[in-house]
Amino acid sequence: MTSQEQLITSVSRKVVASIAPHELPLFDITRHAYFRNPKQARRRQVESGGPLAFGVGEVAAVATPVVLIITTEVVKFVLEPVKTSLAELIGDLFKQLLKRSRPTSSAPAPTQSPAPAGLTPARLREARERGMQVARALKLPEDQAALVVDSVLMNLTLAPA
């Protein structure tokens, strides 16, 4: 499991525990199925008509797939600037390493690259809007969408570093 999947799992499990604790026994089964093919899980959720469109014979959890989908999108959105900053930092360090390997009389002093972008209030607002867009695409009622997205963001910001 990647570190991103671990973060998504940790946050999602906490959200499910708070909004649908009765689904926790099925959480790991649902999570494994989701991470095998997240795109298919999302497509299936959208095509089903929303989280309440499961048939009578359906045994799967209802909230867990929705929480996993929303958490995945929010985590990707939040981590994107960090990935970009990290890629730039690695590129800068590599360039400095190459410059140092060349024999020159005046090697430039190493420059400090900026730290990866943090989770600012503005970025949190953007992440919330992204989560709400995903929830709406999943046909979640507005109040339920806000509950899930806000819970995801709260648990994400409180996640241990």
Q: pLDDT tens digits, residue range 66-111?
A: 999 999 999 999 988 766 555 566 766 666 767 776 655 554 544 4
Residue 156: which H helix or E strand, with range?
helix 142-157
- Tell me the torsion sign for CA atoms 111, 113, 115, 121: positive
How many domains does the chain fold into? Answer: 1
Amino acid code (one letter) for 54: F
- 107, part of any domain: no
Containing domain of residue 153, as a range? 3-100+113-157
- 95, part of any domain: yes
Higher pLDDT, residue 94 or 2? 2
- 106, part of any domain: no
- 68, part of any domain: yes
CA–CA distances in Å: residue 71 to residues 39, 68, 105: 14, 5, 52
pTM greater than the 0.95 cutoff = no
